[in-house]
Structure 1
Amino acid sequence: MPEVLFPLDSSKPFTDQEKIGHNRWHPDIPPVATIKPGTTFRADCREWFDGAINNDDSADDIRDAPLNKVHALAGPFAVEGAEPGDLLIVDIVDLGPIPQEEGSLAGQGWGYTGIFAQNNGGGFLTEQFPDAYKAVWDFQGSECTSRHIPHVKFTGIHHPGLMGTAPSAELLKKWNKREGDLIATDPHRVPALALPPEPDGAILGSLSGAEFDRVASEAARTAPPRENGGNQDIKNLTKGSRVFYPVFVPGGHLSVGDLHFSQGDGEITFCGAIEMGGYIDLHVDIIKGGMEKYGVSENAIFMPGRGGPVYSEWLAFSGTSVTLEGEQRYLDSQLAYQRAILHAIDYLTKFGYTPEQAYLLLGAAPIEGRFSGVVDIPNSCATVYLPTEIFDFDIRPGADGPTQIDPGMGAPRSANPNL
């Protein structure tokens, strides 16, 4: 096993560990370790809410989830010799749930998917699903099932939802300026258009005192993907993947977290993956001057791994860029994907699932989302591919009509959705 450079004790909160990680982006957060190029190491990763979500049949914890505390990240890790302008090569050697542990932390044999309340995060379909719901998933090796969404079993595509390098001071200022300008266009929108720096709940490694206060007031939230990679939520960053990250500060300052047992393309419920804590083994190296050599100046590129489930039979749903009210939008691929997802949800309800069960399933299962037509004005076309093999009944259309299944207890809804 590689050396564990960021260990976590499951009995302690994230801020009481031997080494303290972080939940904001800033160039002045000190590294927890320095690694030589060519090194393979292990980092333990806490589930993104640090244990705030429970294995139970209530969604109140999703409704009340402390968004100012995410994401709980392992790192930063400095790579010896890395300088601005280089590319950091990061190989995902292995990852999985917390090894050989059962307990109350996500990753100890279970994980969860949540539909977030509109006034606390929202989601891809927040107007249609404004309240908080939750599904808990039990792990059996690489497969998972849920008491909240019965008749489904699938193999997870384990991956980190978030991995990236630290921004330079200049890049950080650019982020805060452009996101602040966006917020100013509609400052009272719910959910918000973006998340500005928030000192409350900030975790900044070993910083303290006045330096902590300064960095906390400037540091960027980890919610969106940006030029440094970050919270990209790419389900194909699996074991065997190689990622090339731009380096903006000396040492690169690589961080990782937000591990997922499985996810569909888009992580459509906001907490659409099956969230878990666990471990990840990474190998790092450097391409000197790689940003200019390859034109990778403001984005990460990657080579996906060859692992994960192989499904051969799919049922695909399409959508176009027309709103539910019948308003035509010009080549709006985001809207087209929303409509494709809504069509898939409507279809699954014909078999007995509730809309919320179907929505949660499409967030967690390894669906394939595709922009299928983006040139034929005025309608773009998006499609979502649902693997039929994950169901224990036939979901294909047939002359006898949809099989009626027992939806079980259903997905828990927050008892007080409007709080």
Structure 2
Amino acid sequence: MSFYTSLSGLKASQTDLAVISNNIANVGTTAFKRSDTEFSDLVSSSPLQSAGIAGQGTRLRGIAQQFTQGGLEASERSLDLAISGQGFFMTRASSSNAQVSYTRNGAFSVDANRFLVDSAGAYLQVLPTDSSGTVTATGISATRSVQLPLTSGTSQATQNINLAVTFPSAADVPSTRSVYTATNPYAFDRNDANSYNQSTTTTVYDASGTAFPMTTYYTRENIPSGATTTTSWTAHTFIGDTEISYDNSAATQPAPLTLTFDASGAMTAPSSAMTIGPVAPNGASAPLTFDLSYGASTKQSSAPFTLTSFDQDGFAAGALDNVSVGSDGLVVATFSNGDSQALGKIIVATFANPEGLRQLGDSKWGATGVSGEPIINEANSNGTGQIQSGALEQANVDITEELVALIQAQRNFSANAKAIEAANTMTQTIVQLRT
């Protein structure tokens, strides 16, 4: 009988060694929870049995998980999340209703379809919210996967352009440039910097929000002398690679704009807004038509050439710029146009008996009848922990404690082996007795 008693001790020590080895092996696993082995003694009992009997060894009563808080390690990713306190993140194996698992590993990322997923590709679950971030539905049936939108709002084509320019009175007429006339329409060449004085580049938008560079080249046409007291400048404007015409009656080449200034430098022409278009640069979803006006502050003076103001009313839909997660679990997306959008509140699930959860691997657990049904809550409420963005929970393994336990398990194994050796020696002695 002593052989089997010591054998149960050997098996128990082996199991203890296996659990300790698993703890040590996962010391670097994010949000890993260490386990302890629990043993109980074996005693053969019957109604008429006396109290003074020897036990029959030991048995494994269970392997208990220890859900103590692990240390938090800071990271530089806003989607690295840690729960400081009780609770688990809830994930699903697919974006639709599928197998549910619970984890403390908050290393989330964005997949090809812009869903937030964990390291195994399972979808992070959130509760729906309104625009202010208030939860609108609760319970597991209300949970959903969170998907990041690409844009926010709608785009608008440029319809009005208002600008103002200061032209230098000391500027020369380009030496390679002859005066623009109807019979000499090719005097300007945008690729020849000697054929114009200055250029400016700004941005306009088509109906789909595609941005196009709007480049205007300014050329001085004359210097006042004698009876001529006014100064003329011409403006050639390109949207993309397409030159716009300031005179829709021009039959062949796009007509530039002529700006005229009197002797004091005040602009005398154009005197009102001009309707331009339709202009169809390459890649535009639709031709652009807009009103363009040079403001009253456009002038010619002794100051250097300056684009003093430029305003246009077109814009693109906002592109996704950043994703942040608050301590209450609210996921907020911000966009390049200044919009922000609440995408939901991350679920924090708690259990009446978390030690009863079933291990699934990858620092995930599943609910069982022993653990109880999950209690779905928001972060930092009803006893749940708060969510910390830019941090990950480390394993709760104390390597020093595990090494001491390893020594103890080794000693237990050796002691049981010695007990078997002693029983074997006694058996051999009995067999060798002679009558």
**TM-score (structure 2 length as normaliser):** 0.17
Determine which structure has the larger strand proportion and give its number: 2
**TM-score (structure 1 length as normaliser):** 0.18
Structure showing greater radius of gyration is 2
